[in-house]
Amino acid sequence: MLVLDSRDAPPAARAELVTTLMAETSAATVTLAPHADLHARMDLWQLGRLALFRSESSGVAMSRDVRRARREETPIVALAVQERSTARHEQFGHQQTVAPGRLMVVDLSAPFAFSWATSGASRALQVPLDALALPVEVVRDAGPRLDAGPLAGLVTRHIVDLFEAADRLAASEQAAAIGSATIDLVRALLASTSRRDPGVRRETLLAQVHEYVRQRLRDPDLDADEIAAVHAVSRRRLFALFADAGTSLEQTIIARRLEAAHDELGRPGARHKGIATVAHEWGFRDAAHFSRRFKEAYGMTPRERRAAGATGGRAEDT
């Protein structure tokens, strides 16, 4: 959803429009730097409880004081990757310079200050604090050392990938599932970076394995031996890790492959591909096995899913 585009306003009214809408959206005080081409654009996508928020503008400064922070009805944590221009961020007495490609976390329920001097852009995940299921002290403690966390690079790449495919992902039937998986990854990043969480190593390892599986889904040879070796753990520990999370490695891999195939079959651009081709592309060696598991998971055959995608609804069983 497009929240703001300054090109919709005549130049004479642009500054007031941008200042007003940015202030309303962020519940913050907004100041625009003088600029020959004052501009701003804000976009929002929803993936279940996760919001993707992109902001780009000429020089801008935003701040929220104690009075404004107390108005926040639902505590939100923003995890952002600076896209363009170097930003400055201050919260809880900690000041940091955020270069393009670097991470930062903002507790939007507390006072903060954020700015960039020249035309810049930022991509942020907005997560309700209750969805993170972490004490707010853990989130705040992670902020100053976020880039040093063991999952920082992985999460940064994931955020960039999400925004590159934001339109398609938000329109997908898997939007909520993708949002939920991303919240899990954010939780693991914050927990592994903070000094206050006792389950750091387990959460970090589980997040790393999930990301490795995501990257290798198309490989039909992906198995527990490979995953255990890459992460320097035993098969027994690997299986226990997933059992503690209430699932299994095998079921996780199959579910992820089925989700990917389900999404692929619903895309108009993939209609030229045969069902067996899609199955093989997502790591299934046997097309019949794929079709059986697909129907068990979604209550329809792959062919019915393709028909439903073409009509924008669910195909009737024949």
Tens of pLDDT, residue by residue, the chain (318 residues): 788 788 777 777 778 877 887 877 777 788 887 776 788 888 999 998 899 999 998 888 888 877 665 555 678 899 999 999 999 999 988 899 999 999 999 988 888 999 998 889 999 999 988 888 777 888 888 888 888 888 899 999 999 999 999 999 998 878 888 998 899 889 888 888 877 655 656 777 787 888 888 888 899 999 999 999 988 889 998 998 888 877 889 999 999 899 889 988 888 877 888 999 999 999 999 999 999 999 999 999 999 998 876 555 444 333
The tokens describing 218, both together, are 């198309």
Q: Alpha-carbon torsion 117, 39, 107, 145, what sign?
A: negative
At residue 7, what are phi and psi to the nearest 5 degrees? -70, -15
Q: For residue range 161-201, what is the model confidence (pLDDT) as tens digits?
A: 999 999 999 988 788 889 988 998 898 888 888 776 556 56
Helices (H), 165-317: 166-171, 175-193, 200-215, 224-230, 235-244, 249-265, 275-281, 287-298, 302-311
pLDDT for 244: 80
pLDDT for 73: 61
pLDDT for 247: 83
The tokens describing 123, both together, are 């991509």
Q: Any idea of the CA torsion for 171, 177, 182, 183, to the nearest 10 degrees?
A: 120
pLDDT for 186: 92
pLDDT for 199: 61
Inter-residue contact 52 to 78 (CB < 8 Å)? no
Please name the residue that has the structure tokens 């899609």: 278
Q: For residue range 228-239, what is the model confidence (pLDDT) as tens digits?
A: 998 888 999 899
151, 59, 138: which is closest to 103 by C-alpha? Answer: 151
The tokens describing 269, both together, are 């651009």
The tokens describing 202, both together, are 């387990």
pLDDT for 16: 82
Give per-residue burial for 250-265: e unless 16+ CB within 10 Å, then b. eeebbebbbbbbbbbb
The tokens describing 139, both together, are 């989130």
The tokens describing 70, both together, are 């107390």
48, 26, 43, 53: which is closest to 182 by C-alpha? Answer: 48
Question: Measured in Å, how far apart are the chain's first and last C-alpha atoms?
Answer: 37
Run of H or E residues at 3: strand 2-5
Q: For residue range 273-286, what is the model confidence (pLDDT) as tens digits?
A: 899 999 999 999 99
CATH 1.10.3230.20 describes domain 1-152: no
Inter-residue contact 77 to 127 (CB < 8 Å)? yes
